Amino acid sequence: MIQKFVFVFGTRPEAIKIAPLVLAAKDDPNLECLIVSTGQHREMLDQVLDAFAIKPDIDLDLINSRPNLNGIIGQSLLKLDKFFEDHKPDLVFAHGDTATTLAVSLCCFNKKIPLAHIEAGLRTYDLESPFPEEFNRRVAGLASKYHFCPTQLAKENLVREGCSENSLFVVGNTIVDAVRIIEEKISKEKSIQNKFDEKFSFLKSSDKVILLTVHRRESFGEKMKNICLAIKEIAIEQPNVKIVFPVHLNPNVRSPVNDILKDVINIHLLEPLGYLDFMLLFKRSDFIMTDSGGIQEEAPSLSKPVVILREVSERPEVIQTGAGILVGSSKNKIKQVTNELLQRGPLFDKMSSAKNPFGDGYSSKKILEICKKHLDKSNEKRSEQ
């Protein structure tokens, strides 16, 4: 029997992590696959979809009215309700912890539609950090029938919260699949590397390169300012280092970043990059400094040290395996760790050779197989009754 799977996403990181699942589902003749975008991150989302050559079947098109978080959730709920009513999915997939994830969770719960949660079980147990993501993912956990945990640690969080063991599956993180797919594409299509080399010709082969991103709500204000000041001092003190910073579109990021960093000659502030360019820049960099969640997972997938500009991480595996180091927003700590990594000594070697805790790059296949098997079983049970 053909099963109808609906994949919903709205932001750049969700799209990157759901894309491998969508591609695998589209290849499966026993699945009908519908792709829904809420358009929560309009421009940045399109860049990802282009990289994976995915086109949504429906775009809820929320961006026109530029809504706030409650606006996104409210509008998405109403539009998803109608979409699910019209299309009657057998299973809906949502990822992670965004406003889109929260809306999908509420909608599926109220309509009694089975929900599969990808990247389930991440926790800081602090509702303020990351805000509002910690709340969103807990709600997704309550609403889901299948929880796809990236690691054993994530599964243990859900066991402690009372989820039944047979709804929990440790499958790795689909971001490793995304990195694998993009690396394969880059090695097949030489023009991608050539275009990158042209666009990034300001990076000379002798340059040390740091890739930097900062965008999270918890970093806004004083923390963002401290991080920028630390970066500015590093750049001025080390003129042979180039710091490349694709700046998030959020005005709370752009304003302090431009004020503090725009006139420093070896800091390159760029617009957000498409996923192909971002991956190539990642590979060209010596190491990464970031407060991003997804980038913490990509770093061990690409054997790059990651300096985490946050006080806590819901991905403790990155720190435990040695791939990442938490520095928060203290100027001294940021500078101390960065300077040590720039010397390429034992810390650099240890971090860049850490084991990847997020799987083998084939999580999507495992997720789809599990879902198909479980749905078949529940259909069999229903027909016997």
The single residue of 14, 133, 134, 277 carrying the catalytic annotation is 133
**Do you know the residue count of the chain?**
385
Tell me the H-state helices in 238-328: 251-261, 275-284, 293-301, 316-320
Backbone φ and ψ for 295, nearest 5 degrees, come out as -70, -30
Which 3 state secondary structure label does DSSP give 321? coil
Q: How far is the CB of 312 from ligand UDP (least distance, A)?
A: 14
Give 213 or 356: the residue with its C-beta nearer to ligand UDP: 213
C-alpha count within 13 angstroms, C-beta hemisphere, residue 93: 29
Q: Is 293 helix (H, G, I), strand (E, B) or coil?
A: helix
Strands 208-213, 168-170: pairing kind: unpaired
Please indicate whether residue 156 is annotated as part of the active site: no
For residue 58, with 0-12 CB atoms within 10 Å meaning exposed, 13-18 middle and 19 or more buried, which class applies? middle
- Applying CB under 6 A, the residues found at the interface with ligand UDP are 12-13, 16, 213, 215, 246, 272-273, 275, 278, 292-295, 298
47 or 352: whose CB is closer to ligand UDP?
47
CB 146 within 8 A of CB 371: yes
- Residue 224, amino acid: M
Question: d(Cα 335, Cα 287) in Å, to the nearest integer?
Answer: 14
Of 3 and 105, nearer to ligand UDP (C-beta) is 105
Task: Indicate which residue of 41, 137, 248, 268 is catalytic.
Answer: 248
Shortest gap between Cβ of 323 and ligand UDP (angstroms)? 15
Catalytic residue among 87, 180, 217, 284: 217
Cis peptide before 300 (omega within 30 of 0): no
- Residue 14 designated active-site: no
Query: Which residue lies nearer to ligand UDP by CB, 128 or 369?
Result: 128
Which position among 215, 216, 310, 374 bears the catalytic label? 215
Residues 172 and 175: their CA atoms lie apart, in Å, by 9
CA angle 95, 98, 102 (to 5 degrees): 85
Q: Which is nearer to ligand UDP, 46 or 81 (CB)?
A: 46
Is residue 218 annotated as a catalytic residue, yes or no? Answer: no
Q: Is 95 a catalytic residue?
A: no
187, two tokens: 């090695």
Residue 340 token pair: 């040590």
Active-site residue 123, yes or no? Answer: no
Nearer to ligand UDP, 90 or 134 (CB): 134
Active-site residue (options: 14, 59, 90, 119): 119
Name the residue among 19, 16, 48, 50 with its Cα closest to residue 35: 19
Are the CB atoms for 8 and 80 separated by under 8 Å?
yes
Element (H, E) at 117: strand 115-118
Is position 43 annotated as part of the catalytic site? no
Q: Which helix (H) or strand (E) holds 81?
A: helix 69-87
For residues 378 and 380, what is the distance between their CA atoms, to the nearest angstrom?
Answer: 5
Active site residues: 97, 119, 133, 215, 217, 248
